[in-house]
């Protein structure tokens, strides 16, 4: 899952230059296809193997029943509920922290952008094990026994993804002019943010949401060290009891992430396609 997340990050940030480059090198189309096929195989073969393994039955047959049976599995619903709760808390706190900060920095302190970029990268540089052990060491006792502590840690982990998504979104719009136009028309800061800035950051916000949710749904180290059975922890634990179901659940989780990603690109495309007539 961690690999999937970093992959998401790469596609959202590297998107703009890619088409221009491929257009320029039209001559080596076959080489590009070859790379695509190799990369495709690299990802698809394990997935296919996992899928075959999940739908296999003990007598050598094939059955999709394993997918239908997932919700009834022991602890599955608890794990999902907990993870969704963590995702929602982490998401809300992350957005409330990052959106106004990023907008303010872009408007008033553009020189701080670099600094902030560096700061938000710290959670990636510090290994999760170190981070969680440190947090457990210093966390106030009233938070220690609750999963909310984990949600707060996830906020820290989500910062790089959310900030970078918003940062590139903010760079793509003439923020200063839009804000000044809105203010000169009589709008206050609140309305300017809600009616002018946020609607034009739609795809950046969506990217921040998806990346944060995907991160929470994929994070294993901290959850297991904090001894909570979140979704990924449950998969690992449950694998020992029923490997087939565990693999089937992993596949579904992957599909879910892809669906979210597809949603982002759909929204993006609708925004960018000029409907000139």
Partner 1 sequence: MTTTDAAETRTDPASGRRAGVAVELRDLNRRFGEVRALDGFSLDLAPGELVTLLGPSGCGKTTALRALAGLEAVDSGTVVVGGRDLRGVPVRQRDMGMVFQSYSLFPNLTARDNVAFGLRVRGQDKAARRRRADELLELVELGGRGDRYPHQLSGGQQQRVALARALAPEPQVLLLDEPLSALDAKVRVALREQIRAVQTRLGTTTLFVTHDQEEALSISDRVGVMRDGRLEQIASPAELYARPATPFVAEFVGTMNHLPGTTTADGVEVLGRRLPVTTGRPAGAEVDVLLRPEALLVTPDPHGTGVVVATTFLGAVTRVHVRVGDTQRSGARPGGDGTTVLVDRPSAAVAGLGPGAGVTVEPAPDAQPLVA
Burial annotation 151-183 (CB, 10 A radius, 16+ → b, else e)? bbbbbbbbbbbbbbbbbbbbeeeebeeebeebe
Question: Is residue 184 a contact residue for partner 1 (CB under 8 A)?
Answer: yes
To the nearest whole angstrom, how small is the minimum distance from the Cβ of residue 200 to partner 1? 5
What CA–CA distance (Å, rounded) separates 205 from 159?
13
> According to CB under 8 A, which one of 17, 26, 140, 199 is a site residue for partner 1?
199
Does residue 16 bind partner 1 (CB under 8 A)? Answer: no
> Binder to partner 1 among 18, 29, 181, 255 (CB under 8 A)?
181
User: Among 28-36, 54-62, 188-196, 242-250, which window interacts with partner 1 (CB under 8 A)?
Assistant: 188-196
Nearer to partner 1, 25 or 270 (CB): 270
**Shortest distance, position 224 Cβ to partner 1, whole Å:** 43
State yes or no: residue 180 binds partner 1 (CB under 8 A).
Answer: yes
Size of the residue set binding partner 1 (CB under 8 A): 23
Binding string, 200-219, against partner 1, x = CB under 8 A?
x-x-----------------
| Residue 56 phi, psi (nearest 5) | -70, 150
**Straight-line distance from the first to the last Cα atom of the chain, in angstroms, rounded to the nearest whole number:** 43
225 part of the interface to partner 1, by CB under 8 A: no
Please identify, using beta-carbon distances, which residue of 47 and 185 lies nearer to partner 1.
185
C-alpha dist (Å) from residue 105 to 101, 108, 113, 114, 115: 6, 5, 6, 10, 10
120 forms part of the interface with partner 1 (CB under 8 A)? no
CA distances from 56 to 61, 73, 194 (A): 6, 18, 51
Nearer to partner 1, 58 or 177 (CB): 177
Query: Is residue 187 a contact point for partner 1 (CB under 8 A)?
Result: yes
CB 170, min distance to partner 1, A? 13
Nearest distance, CB of residue 99 and partner 1, angstroms: 16
Enumerate binding residues for partner 1 (CB under 8 A).
173-174, 177-178, 180-188, 191, 195-196, 199-200, 202, 274-277
């Amino acid at each position: 899952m961690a690999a999937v997340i970093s992959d998401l990050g790469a596609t959202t940030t590297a998107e703009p230059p890619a088409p221009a480059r491929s257009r320029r090198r039209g001559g080596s189309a076959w080489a590009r296809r070859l790379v695509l096929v190799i990369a495709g195989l690299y990802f698809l073969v394990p997935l296919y193997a996992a899928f075959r393994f999940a739908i296999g039955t003990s007598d050598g047959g094939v059955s999709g029943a394993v997918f239908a049976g997932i919700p009834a599995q022991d602890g599955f619903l608890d794990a999902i509920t907990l993870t969704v709760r963590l995702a929602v808390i982490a998401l809300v706190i992350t957005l409330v922290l990052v959106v106004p900060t990023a907008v303010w920095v872009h408007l008033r302190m553009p020189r701080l952008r670099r600094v902030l970029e560096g700061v938000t990268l710290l959670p990636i540089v510090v290994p999760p094990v170190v981070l969680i052990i440190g947090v457990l060491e210093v966390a106030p006792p009233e938070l220690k026994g609750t999963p909310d502590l984990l949600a707060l840690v996830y906020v820290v982990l989500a910062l790089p993804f959310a900030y970078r998504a918003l940062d590139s979104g903010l760079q793509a719009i003439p923020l200063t002019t839009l804000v000044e136009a809105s203010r000169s028309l009589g709008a206050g800061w609140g309305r300017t943010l809600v009616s002018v800035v946020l609607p034009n950051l739609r795809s950046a916000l969506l990217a921040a949401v998806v990346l944060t949710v995907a991160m929470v749904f994929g994070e294993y180290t901290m959850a297991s060290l904090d001894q909570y059975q979140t979704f990924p922890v449950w998969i690992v634990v449950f694998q020992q009891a029923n490997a087939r179901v565990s693999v089937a659940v992993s596949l579904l989780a992957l599909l879910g992430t892809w669906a979210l990603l597809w949603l982002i690109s759909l929204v993006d495309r609708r925004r960018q396609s000029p409907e000139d007539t």
